[in-house]
């Protein structure tokens, strides 16, 4: 059995694009991109979802506790090891205006998570898991989240180049989600059903190349 962990934010959790002030809803497992990945990989693979709404890369959020991706990462690895591969897709929430984090620093924060996974003993035979770093797609036209992400659309379009450089420097696999999907125009942040399907298939194509029995 090959085990893959998908570690991310609300777009890994499967948040349905939000209209107005409606409550948060979640796509069913078979719609979410990790579920699509599981289906695409087929028998002999297990995909673990570990998404959390509002999760950041390496920083705290004083308004929403337990959103520091670095603090939650190693406990998640411990809970699900041994893992053959960890797919990391974080950075969108670091674009929020109140954090004022430059795109380069967001990418470097994601790089810290790559380093943490690769320094861990939670892969096969107490080695480190492989890592696939995914740059989240750029923000679209914002509605409900316009104030939260003021100035974030422009910064989000800069992320892919920095993420690619971070992955190259660390010699880990890289996927630019924005080359395959776009955030929904409904709220400008979250993926719709079709985007989840497309992203899951794009990730699966990379995973097949990374894993011996992919």
Q: Give residue-wise pLDDT tens across range 97-121.
A: 999 999 999 999 999 999 999 999 9
What domains can be seen in the chain, in order of their start residue?
2-210 (3.40.50.1110)
Q: What long-range pairs does 14-18 form, CB within 8 A, spacing at least 24?
A: 14/49, 14/51, 14/196, 15/53, 15/190, 16/190, 17/184, 17/186, 17/187, 17/189, 17/190, 17/191, 17/192, 18/144, 18/186, 18/187, 18/190
Distant-in-sequence, close-in-space partners of 79: CB < 8 Å, separation ≥ 6 = none
pLDDT score for 131 = 98
What's the pLDDT tens digit per position in 137-160? Answer: 999 999 889 999 999 999 999 999
Token code pair at residue 63: 């308004």
Please count the other Cβ atoms lying within 10 Å of the Cβ belonging to residue 16: 20
Distance of alpha carbon 56 from alpha carbon 177, whole angstroms: 17
What's the pLDDT tens digit per position in 163-178? Answer: 999 999 999 999 999 9
Question: pLDDT band at residue 77, thresholds of 50, 70 and 90?
Answer: very high
Residue 20 region, left (φ>0) first, then alpha (ψ -120 to 50), else beta? left
To the nearest whole number, what is the mean pLDDT of the chain?
Answer: 96
Give the Å distances, CA to CA, from 213 to 1, 147, 182. Answer: 9, 46, 30
Q: Cα–chain-centroid distance for residue 54?
A: 11
Distant-in-sequence, close-in-space partners of 184: CB < 8 Å, separation ≥ 6 = 17, 140, 190, 191, 192, 195
pLDDT score for 158 = 98
pLDDT score for 214 = 62
Backbone Cα Rg of the chain: 16
Average pLDDT estimate for 11-39: 94
What's the whole-model pTM score? 0.97
């Amino acid at each position: 059995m090959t085990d893959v962990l998908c570690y991310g934010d609300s777009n890994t959790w499967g948040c349905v694009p939000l209209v107005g002030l409606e409550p948060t809803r979640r796509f069913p497992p078979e719609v979410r991109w990790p579920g699509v990945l599981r289906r695409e990989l087929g028998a002999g693979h297990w995909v673990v979802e570990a998404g959390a709404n509002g999760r950041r890369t390496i920083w705290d959020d004083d308004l929403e506790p337990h959103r520091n991706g670095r603090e939650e990462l190693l406990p998640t690895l411990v809970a699900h090891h041994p893992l053959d591969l960890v797919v990391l897709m974080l950075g969108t929430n670091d674009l929020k205006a109140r954090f004022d984090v430059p795109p380069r620093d967001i990418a470097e924060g994601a790089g810290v998570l790559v380093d943490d996974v690769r320094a861990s003993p939670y892969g096969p035979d107490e080695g480190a898991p492989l890592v696939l770093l995914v740059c989240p797609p750029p923000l679209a036209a914002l509605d409900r989240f316009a104030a939260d992400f003021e100035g974030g659309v422009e910064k989000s379009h800069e992320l892919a180049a920095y993420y690619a450089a971070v992955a190259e420097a660390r010699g880990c696999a890289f996927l630019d989600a924005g080359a395959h999907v776009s955030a929904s125009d409904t709220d400008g942040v979250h993926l719709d059903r079709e985007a989840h399907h497309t992203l899951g298939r794009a990730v699966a194509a990379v995973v097949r190349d990374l894993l011996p029995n992919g």
